[in-house]
A and B are shown apart, each in its own frame.
Chain A
Amino acid sequence: MKDWLIWISSFAEPAALAAVTASAFAVLFSVPVRTLFPAALLGALGVTVKFSLIALGWSVIEGTFVASMGVGLCGMWLAWRYHAPTVVFSLPAVIPMVPGVYAYRTMMGVLEFTRVGGIDQPLLISIISNGLMTAFLFLCLAIGVALPNILLRGRSVRDVCVLYKRDKKYKQQKEN
């Protein structure tokens, strides 16, 4: 029980910070005000999933991939629930997982490499590994946000059978 509490509290701070970041970028992309709060929650969810998977021993790329897939799926549900495009929720929500540090290290490494000249093998290796991390992490986020397009192939979330039926039932109840 106590372990469980410690587990939760160790993710509370990053989750809260991720919610702040997600809502900030939602404001920058000027999303509708009614979708600000769900977008912030989705951002917190993504970072929590990522950090807990990493704590379970997954690699950063695997953790980010699964977290952004989760964000994409929940974004599809939120899109149906709030009648807004999926990207309104999933795009701000993946921003807290952006590989800023790896990109920064890659850039610094490249600068250093062009400055010292010649072949500095450890530096070259760090540039390659940081650069690949940046590229793959960004690709993971992009695939997560593009998930509805991969799954639905040009249809709206509203047309999905199960959700659509529930939508119809809900409307009938409202009419009755």
Chain B
Amino acid sequence: MPTASARDIARLLVDIGVLLLRSGAHTERTIRNLKRFASAFGYEPDIFIAFSGLTLTVHGPEQSTTLFGRVAVHGVRLSVVAAVSQLSWRVAEEGLTIADIRKELKEINELPHFPRWITLLMIGCGCGALARIMGAEWPVVSVTVLASSLALFVRMKMTEWRFNTFLVIVSSAAVASIVGGMATHFHMGTTSGLAMAASVLFLIPGVPLINGVVDLINGYMSIGIARSAMGAAIAFSLASGMLVGMQIAGVSL
């Protein structure tokens, strides 16, 4: 038995879906969450999700509503995905109203990011640890730490200035391999190439590629192919950025 108008439910579902897709949720998860929200109010929506937006129809007793929401950016904020998932369970269990859900969503949207310096420090240490796992010596590891933190800083700044996604990746990879190339330049032994290999690894398009595979597995072909193509394009930008960096640093092959 529907407990709210189809139009209000459709508005709510579109907002939630856009929030999820912007934060890096895959198609199956988005649809599952939206259906859970809708079923709490007694509706069964039909949802179509594409790379650049989602369309859904909510069938009411008298009239149906179809709305479209645009997904402008594809970021990664897994805390938002987790929080929306928890909220979707609470709606049915605690009988939340639309106003309650809107209030919760506002809070979720304002969930704090990690402070910038913590992210820089952690990614520096993380890429250094990756270099060490691959077998680098400690001087090379320290160069990797420096290179990846600097490159992440460049990426954060350029994203803030709203540059093209691929240009950001190219520049960031170039900075990483210029600084990482110092290991080769100062002759830090046979493992010095690993500084370059490991310091760009934080740029790998893990989320688009894995979401692409997940979507393909679940049968959402068009968005799966779109996500995989996005991942491949990012990987290609990464490689060309490294090439530019190596040319600038003058590191021979």
Contact = CB atoms under 8 A, between A and B. Distances in A.
A83 interface: yes
A142 B209 contact: yes
Interface stretch (A2-10, A13-21, A56-64): A13-21
A83 B84 CA distance: 11
Contacts of B79: 30-32
B245 interface: no
Contacts of B197: 100-101, 103-104
Contacts of A146: 210, 213-214, 217
A138 B123 contact: no
Given A18-B129, A84-B85, A87-B78, A107 B123 contact: no
B83 to A, nearest CB: 7
Contacts of B78: 29-32, 85, 87-88, 91
Interface of B: 24-26, 28-29, 31-32, 76-79, 81-83, 85-86, 89, 113-114, 118-119, 122-123, 125-127, 129-130, 132-134, 193-194, 196-198, 201-202, 204, 206-207, 209-210, 213-214, 217-218, 239, 242-243, 253
Contacts of A98: 130, 201, 204, 206
A9 B82 CA distance: 36
Main secondary structure of the interface of B (DSSP, over half): helix
A149 interface: yes
Contacts of B217: 146, 149-150
Contacts of A24: 122-123, 125-127, 129, 202
The contact size tier of chain A is: 35 or more
Interface in A11-69: 13-14, 17-18, 20-25, 27-32, 35, 47
A108 interface: yes
A28 B210 contact: no
A17 B253 CA distance: 28
Nearest to B152: A28
Contact of A85 (B82, B89, B207, B218): B82
A139 B126 CA distance: 22
A143 interface: yes
